[in-house]
Structure 1
Amino acid sequence: MFKKLSRMTTGTLTAVALLGTAMLTSGDANAEKVLRFSHTDNPGGSRQAAAEVFAEKVSEYTQGRYKVRIYPAGQLANDPKAIEQLQLGGVDFTVSATGSYATHQPSLNLTAMPFLVDTYEQGWEFYDNSAWMKSEFAKLPEKGFRVLSTWEAGFRSFTTSDPLASPKDAEGKKMRVYPNDMIRWTMEAIGFQTVVMPITDVYLSIQQGVVNGQENPVDTIKSLRFYEVAPNITLTRHVYSPLPLTVSEQTWQNFSPEDQAAVQKAANEASAFSRKLVRDSVNGQIEEMKKAGATVSVPEIGPFRDSVQSVYEKAKGIYGDEVEKVLADTAEIRKKLPAN
């Protein structure tokens, strides 16, 4: 009798909770609807700053019909899980490295091929206007999410326990990577052993000697304080690593056309904010990390470029002509927007 009553009570409570949620989200047409935004950056990082701009603009441009609630530092999920939650409608927005989405659209791995672009401007042109990139993003809604805009993180570089002057210094060292074939192949071509783990585990893993280092943009290195446990920062800039802002396709289809336009406008403005913030902050962040005890170096890049040539051939073996399309697009962009 008690067990039966307990089950009935649980079922009743669940029904009440669901009814309450429904009333909050679909009752009064003028009621504020809360949208959940998950990301893994710390509260003081650039992703959080851009997310706050996005949230403010969504509220403004929808006349307060929607409120974006931000959950930083992996409170809801790490990057792969947040993307899965997008597909299920468990979160409404996330922002993560392009390669994080490659689990669901494998050809996006190609954006992480090493040394594709040399400047921010070249990277922006590739992500905003290249034919290949546009075609890739157009495939994502059928996966359960879509790209609204691309935010900035910058170029990936290394933080390691020991100095990294050349690929020879990578031999026998363990490098953390996220689940992305291209990044893993690049690290292995340089000479590292690779260990896949969520970014939220990296600080402690370096501290405990599970891995000898990690690679990320300067903004992420600073925000997540990796320089504290791996104080040798080597500015190889081996991969351009921006952050597509994505929305759950379920959420997107529930917006009216007017609210879709409002959210898109907010995303575009947050992108412009993010790009300017990150580009303009890098030198200052490097100086702050130096003052905190980090050693920052710019190595001779030639040996690193030479060491990763096998990555392009490996990619062609899996992705075929898609590799040439990416290389052709980025070569044309480098010609159009040459580095100073």
Structure 2
Amino acid sequence: MAVHSLKLTARTLAVSFALLLAGAAHAETLRLSTLKQPGSEGAAAAEKFAKLVAERTQGRVEVKVYPASQLGDWTEVYEQVMQGAVDMAMQPLATADDKRLAITWFPYAFTNYDTAKQSLSPGGAVFGIVSAAIADKGLTPLGVYGEGMGGAGFAKAVEAPADPEAKRNLKVRVWPGGTTHRVLLERFGFNTATLPWAELYTGMQTGVVDGQIGGTAGMALESFKDITKTWVQYNDHFEGDWFIINSERYAGLPEADQKILLEAAQEVSAERFEEVKEADQRHLETMRTAGIEVVTFDDATLEKLAAVARKDVWPQIAGELGEETLGQLKTSLGLN
């Protein structure tokens, strides 16, 4: 009897092992590229997304994360996801081929974390605009990993930063092609100059420019902490990386698994929206501790700045989005 039982047990184990192998053989593996470095919060978020997908699909879908741009520069990866050579990415969107994607940094599309979360989630205005813009490229968005609210850093003091009518003898760097923020800053009383990223630190250090815009407090601490004297938290845009997947690859998955991927990305995104608010506050406190003057605004002041930008700046930069896309954004904000 013991021998018979052992044979049955061995046979059962063999069958179970064979079934496991069969399941593994049919598992879908999706390669996900991200710029985030191993050990960073962003890389951990990508890994959590992968874990959620594996658990909820019961191993039918495996997401393999490649951090630190292991699969190539993010602009190259963007093309590779379009072509299907890479399945997924968590990174910025490449805007060169479609001006509508300028919506991801369009000034004052929203002013706080709640409106950003609403607009950057499925059913939200910006999420919908991006979905339509990248659908033609064979891409499907699943969620947004937030980096934080944008602001401006200066090597000098800033006079009356809350007053959009003040005229200041300060020159602020905007990135090449950064028409949206060039017009915004000039309306807010600054002078502007275009400067490559690689020259920005030296430019601020030597006085070629007095400040920079286009990033978050955390990014400023990483790159310009020792030369930043003033940080103004304008909340001019929300910096984020997008979970994107090749549309054909996505459509090839069972509908239930598509839903799991979307829900997992949204869960990670929603958690990050809560975390990023706290992260921004920590970065601002780190700045204060380092002796940097930090200027923040209450909601009423932010809405005032937004109103000025939407009234005076948006008409000048409408071509960056196109009239149809700008109309959609205005409708979402009740401005039409």
Q: What's the TM-score, normalizing by structure 2?
A: 0.72
Match of 2:193 in 1: 193
The verdict on how the C-alpha distance between 1:119 and 1:31 changes in structure 2, with shifts beyond 3 A counting, is: closer
Query: How far did residue 270 of structure 1 move?
Result: 1.0
Match of 2:99 in 1: 106
CA contact (8 A) 2:30 2:88 kept: no
| Structure number with larger C-alpha Rg | 2
- 1:137 lines up with 2:131 in the alignment: yes
Q: Which moved more, 1:252-261 or 1:115-124?
A: 252-261
Q: Which AA in structure 1 matches 2:255?
A: P
Distance in 1 (alpha carbons) for counterparts of 2:67 and 2:169: 36
Query: How far did residue 153 of structure 1 move?
Result: 2.6
Distance in 2 (alpha carbons) for counterparts of 1:92 and 1:206: 39
Match of 1:322 in 2: 325
Q: Which AA in structure 1 matches 2:105?
A: A
Distance in 2 (alpha carbons) for counterparts of 1:81 and 1:250: 19
Query: How far did residue 238 of structure 1 move?
Result: 1.7
Query: How far did residue 249 of structure 1 move?
Result: 2.8
Query: How far did residue 234 of structure 1 move?
Result: 1.5
Distance in 1 (alpha carbons) for counterparts of 2:262 and 2:237: 27
CA contact (8 A) 1:170 1:192 kept: no
3-state SS of paired residue (1:150): strand
CA contact (8 A) 1:46 1:278 kept: no
The verdict on how the C-alpha distance between 1:50 and 1:229 changes in structure 2, with shifts beyond 3 A counting, is: farther
Query: How far did residue 43 of structure 1 move?
Result: 4.5
CA contact (8 A) 1:109 1:181 kept: no
Determine what percentage of the aligned residue pairs are the same residue: 20
Query: How far did residue 32 of structure 1 move?
Result: 7.1
Q: What's the TM-score, normalizing by structure 1?
A: 0.71
CA contact (8 A) 1:46 1:277 kept: no
3-state SS of paired residue (2:243): strand
Match of 1:119 in 2: 112
Q: Which AA in structure 2 matches 1:29?
A: A
CA contact (8 A) 1:213 1:230 kept: no
Which one of the candidate residues 136, 144, 157 is aligned to 1:163?
Answer: 157
Distance in 1 (alpha carbons) for counterparts of 2:175 and 2:273: 24
CA contact (8 A) 2:201 2:224 kept: no
3-state SS of paired residue (1:115): coil
Can you list the C-alpha shifts for 1:74-101, whole angstroms capped at 9, x where unaligned? Answer: 454454333223223343333345xx44
Q: Which AA in structure 2 matches 1:284?
A: R
Can you list the C-alpha shifts for 1:189-246, whole angstroms capped at 9, x where unaligned? Answer: 542112354xxx4775567757643431234434x34324434321111223343321
**Gaps (5+ residues) in structure 1?**
1-26, 333-340
Can you list the C-alpha shifts for 1:41-83, whole angstroms capped at 9, x where unaligned? Answer: 45565433322221221222233341322313x4544543332
RMSD over aligned CA atoms reads 3.5
- 1:216 lines up with 2:219 in the alignment: no
3-state SS of paired residue (1:103): coil
Q: Which AA in structure 1 matches 2:215?
A: N
Match of 1:67 in 2: 63
Distance in 1 (alpha carbons) for counterparts of 2:75 and 2:139: 13
Match of 2:235 in 1: 237
Distance in 1 (alpha carbons) for counterparts of 2:42 and 2:169: 30
The verdict on how the C-alpha distance between 1:303 and 1:316 changes in structure 2, with shifts beyond 3 A counting, is: closer
Query: How far did residue 261 of structure 1 move?
Result: 2.6
Match of 1:29 in 2: 25
Q: Which AA in structure 1 matches 2:293?
A: T
Q: Which AA in structure 2 matches 1:322?
A: T
The verdict on how the C-alpha distance between 1:147 and 1:303 changes in structure 2, with shifts beyond 3 A counting, is: closer
Distance in 1 (alpha carbons) for counterparts of 2:107 and 2:98: 19
Query: How far did residue 143 of structure 1 move?
Result: 0.8
Indicate the structure with greater helix content.
1
The verdict on how the C-alpha distance between 1:114 and 1:324 changes in structure 2, with shifts beyond 3 A counting, is: same
Distance in 2 (alpha carbons) for counterparts of 1:233 and 1:78: 30
Distance in 1 (alpha carbons) for counterparts of 2:91 and 2:78: 9
Query: How far did residue 156 of structure 1 move?
Result: 0.8
CA contact (8 A) 1:46 1:219 kept: no
Distance in 1 (alpha carbons) for counterparts of 2:103 and 2:30: 35
Match of 2:16 in 1: none
Query: How far did residue 120 of structure 1 move?
Result: 1.3
Match of 2:270 in 1: 272
